[in-house]
Amino acid sequence: MTDPSAINRQTDSGISIEELYTEADLANFDPESKLGRPGSFPFTRGVHAEMYRRRLWTMRQYAGFGNAESTNERFKFLLDAGQTGLSCAFDLPTQMGYDSDHPRSEGEVGKVGVAIDSLADMRLLLKDLPLDQVTTSMTINSTASTLLLMYELVAEEQGVDGSKLRGTIQNDILKEYVARGTYIYPPRPSMRLIVDTFSYCADNMPNWNTISISGYHIREAGSTAVQEIAFTIANGIAYVEAAQAAGLDVDSFAPRLSFFWNSHNNLFEEVAKFRASRRIWANIMTNRFHAKDERSKVLRFHTQTGGSTLTAQQPENNIVRVTIQALAAALGGTQSLHTNGFDEALGLPTMKAAKTALRTQQIIGYESGIADTVDPLAGSYFIESLTNEIEQGVLEYLARIDDMGGAVAAIEARFMQDEIESAAYAYAKAIDSGDKIVVGVNKFTEDSGEPNDVFPIDPQLQIDQVARLQKVRAERDQAGVEAALADVEAAARGTQNVLVPMKEALRRMATLGEVADTLRGVYGAYQPGG
């Protein structure tokens, strides 16, 4: 095994690390154009003037499993423990547009998130939650518009107007083709649904973040930090261009765009990555899209600690990894944060792991002192040099993608996918050779001791969920549902905003799968390479 001290030191993105950084490394660095002040262009130092001195980031722990009642209980447990925002995971059938009784749903109902088939489930998911007070993030993409409308319908039943709702839907379909795979329709009609969501929310839910442009899953697929930022911002450019092509003014929707970053173990590269991403986006929105509203230039982001960094071996070590990653996110100026449970390499997080993850954020926020001043690492020769290096690497990627015709064309040509696969292979090879140390995996290993508690999956859950779905179908006005779905189909074939008839169909108890099937009939289903 190679002695780590003999290795040329590099970040995870392959940026060489010098032994010492001095003032000379920033000889051509212009603080005015590169840094500015916190809360001011180019937002390198943060999106708010006072950052965490005014208010800590939102502690938004990801939750979602089984049925709606179980997830509702976990939401209330986390809120009681001091969480300040909700974040919901959905099971694979819900993500892929299948009802729980579809043959392809077998064995996956409620497994990696909550099962939502109809408005009846959404009512149970949100029961007794103050929707006019909490912010809710929903990690959903292909069926994002459907889940958003269900959320709005439940709020209306509670007497909460859409203008009072605050939260985020991920709604980032391009990264699904790149890194994750929970797509339904081909890229171009999928982009139409996203633009329709932008327009609908501008009119009906003005405080809702209509998209969370996600680098998280790109990083989980094996990308470097530079690739995570570059490919995600390229997707963001594509969304802005699509909205403009549909006739939307940039300042009518850009203030509600948000981003979603990963945080890995290389503390300083992660901090620099977050700072660079804000500066790059501010310049793109100013110089490329000519945004006038300062809010359109602000890259606001949620961070989740790195799921792919967690190890099944010695899982308690993951508490330390998550702490480093959460610290990087806070030092980098995140707006909200999810910290992973230490046992998530084994299964869904147990209650103990979920609480430990939340307490990790709380200790960093209230005990470490990093919230006492804004951007505490600014001016560091190392941090500023690294931020510049990451920015340059990202801009080089963006230029290559522009030359290909933009993100959609680059995805169709498999450029991003191939780049990520190459990076993932190089990383795995470094671990296998011992050039990259992972404690407990290829160094400092030990025999496993007592088995760890693993979150249980109850097979009865799917049976009960299917029964509830069938009850909904039996009790609804079938003719009314069919008429409403026909309106959805007509809108999809025409130019009307699809969300308008979709909301009425969901109100009449059309299921998520039925809505998705209607759109499949118009748009088709995407086949990679087809």
Domain count, the chain: 2
What does R_g of the chain's alpha carbons equal in angstroms? 23
Asked whether residue 421 falls in the same domain as residue 474, the answer is no
Asked whether residue 128 falls in the same domain as residue 251, the answer is yes
Sign of dihedral through CA atoms 298, 177, 241, 498? negative
In a domain, 507, yes or no: yes
Let me know: does 438 contact 312? Beta carbons within 8 Å.
no
In a domain, 449, yes or no: no
| Per-residue pLDDT tens digits for 326-384 | 999 999 999 999 999 999 999 878 889 989 999 999 999 999 999 999 999 999 999 99
What is the DSSP annotation of 285-354? HHHTS---SGGGG---EEEEE-GGG--SSSTTHHHHHHHHHHHHHHHHT-SEEE---TTTTTSSPPHHHH
Residue 324 and residue 364: Cα distance in Å, rounded?
A: 10
Asked whether residue 103 falls in the same domain as residue 220, the answer is yes
| Per-residue pLDDT tens digits for 248-264 | 999 999 999 999 999 99
Buried (b) or exposed (e) across 238-254, using 16+ Cβ within 10 A? Answer: bbbbbbeeeebebbbbb
| Per-residue pLDDT tens digits for 242-301 | 999 999 999 999 999 999 999 999 999 999 999 999 999 999 999 999 999 999 999 999
Q: How many helices (H) and strands (E) does the chain have?
A: 20, 10
Sign of dihedral through CA atoms 167, 172, 173, 178? negative
Asked whether residue 250 falls in the same domain as residue 300, the answer is yes
Asked whether residue 468 falls in the same domain as residue 416, the answer is no
Among the candidates 372, 398, 433, a domain finishes at 433
Asked whether residue 486 falls in the same domain as residue 386, the answer is no
Residue 273 tokens, joined: 């990555």
Asked whether residue 369 falls in the same domain as residue 487, the answer is no
Backbone angles phi, psi at 478, to 5 degrees: -65, -40
Asked whether residue 485 falls in the same domain as residue 396, the answer is no
Q: Which domain holds residue 465?
A: 460-523
Residue 322 and residue 341: Cα distance in Å, rounded?
A: 8
In a domain, 204, yes or no: yes
Residue 279 and residue 46: Cα distance in Å, rounded?
A: 10
Asked whether residue 325 falls in the same domain as residue 428, the answer is yes
In a domain, 504, yes or no: yes
Task: Read off the pLDDT band of 317 (50, 70, 90).
Answer: very high
Asked if the model's pLDDT at residue 500 lies above 80, the reply is yes
In a domain, 174, yes or no: yes
In a domain, 301, yes or no: yes
Task: Report which secondary-structure segment, H or E, holds 137.
Answer: strand 135-139
Q: For residue 193, give the nearest of 179, 174, 207 by alpha carbon.
A: 174
Asked whether residue 257 falls in the same domain as residue 359, the answer is yes
Task: Report which secondary-structure segment, H or E, holds 138.
Answer: strand 135-139
3-state secondary structure 103-129: HHHCCCCCCCCECCCCHHHHHHHCCCC
| Per-residue pLDDT tens digits for 34-72 | 999 999 999 999 999 999 999 999 998 777 778 899 899
Asked whether residue 474 falls in the same domain as residue 412, the answer is no
Q: For residue 386, give the nearest of 13, 133, 32 by alpha carbon.
A: 13
